[in-house]
Amino acid sequence: MSKTILKPDYILLAGVPRSGSSWTARVLAQSPGTILVREPDNEKNYRPAQRAKHNLHRFPYIPRDHDNRDFHLFWQKVFEKDLSPSNPLFAKLYRIGSDLLSKTTGKHYAFKCRDFHPSGNMNEKTRIIKSVHAGLSLPYLNENFRPKIVIIFRHPASIVASCLRLKLPDGNREVFRQTALVTDFLEPYMSTIETLSDPLALMGLQVAIFYHVWERQMDQYPQWITTIHEDLCEESASKFRILYDQLGLPWRDEIAAYIDRHNTGGGGYEIRRVASQVVDQWKTELSAQQIRSVRQGYGILPVRHYHEFQTGN
């Protein structure tokens, strides 16, 4: 399969669910000349992603030499094509259909077309693609499409606490059931992993798996950019300014004002939050036993990020 080499103005922001990627993406998208594409590969919300990920895990591990035509064509469209809806009536019917599914099944289907089909001429803008589902496919996307890749890290206990707060099933999807992932990264640890039964330990493990894979892959891809959620919270404007510079995005004073406006109480999936209160919120939300459970799962793998949490410091 031929590789597609893109212009350097394609940015892929990856993180695990509840890592602060939505907030980060929204702030990056305040830069002039950018457009945000949110979670295009969420198969629960976007039918083309269902087809592209047929028989794949929700968080698929895709090695860089993987050969899957549907997966490749899907991401080629995400990176290259105009995702604007050609017919406004289609977008309206799509939303009506999702509402009907929600009512008849009792489950929430958030088919928000505008999230995946931004309006405007996308070919004239820097495209920022935000995904919490593509984190185990980064080498494949890097080799085939050459976007600028940004990975956001967040404290594992913060992620677990947020997943519990929202009752989010994505906190544990047993990514270690993927054979290729085990072969490439997890084989030495599987005997210990298979003993885990505590749900919070499994959630901590999932975060560790993503971080372990990324840390090893970053040795091969030193051009990947990383950022820490806690740093963005504590020194938001200055840290975002650094991230803007790393990505070559133009900064303006209005962006700092945007950050300040959203530094207020919020909840759920909102991007409003009192940033200084977010960093240690898990310490009051999780019990001592819950923290020990998260640490049990997170400590199985040799992860450099948040190593002090593994050791109990």
Condensed to tens digits (0 to 9), the pLDDT of residues 82-122 reads 655 444 444 455 455 545 544 554 444 444 444 454 544 55
Residue, of 299 and 279, whose pLDDT is higher: 299
- Chain-wide mean pLDDT for the chain? 86
- How many CA atoms does the CB half-sphere of 45 hold within 13 Å? 16
Contacts of 17 (CB under 8 A, 6+ apart): 132, 159, 163, 168, 170, 171
Reply yes or no on whether the pLDDT at 67 is more than 50: yes
| 3-state secondary structure at position 150 | strand
Type and span of the H or E element at 296: helix 288-298
> What is the pTM for the complete model shown?
0.86
The percent of the chain in helix, strand and coil, each rounded to the nearest 5, is 50, 10, 40
What are the chain's domains? 10-83+118-305 (3.40.50.300)
Condensed to tens digits (0 to 9), the pLDDT of residues 239-259 reads 999 999 999 999 999 999 999
Banded pLDDT at 46 (limits 50, 70, 90):
confident
Specify the long-range contacts of residues 107-112, CB closer than 8 Å, at least 24 apart: 109/44, 109/45, 110/44, 110/45, 111/45, 111/46, 112/45
pLDDT at position 70, please?
A: 95
pLDDT at position 97, please?
A: 53
Tokens standing for 227? 């950022």
What is the pLDDT averaged over residues 43-59? 93
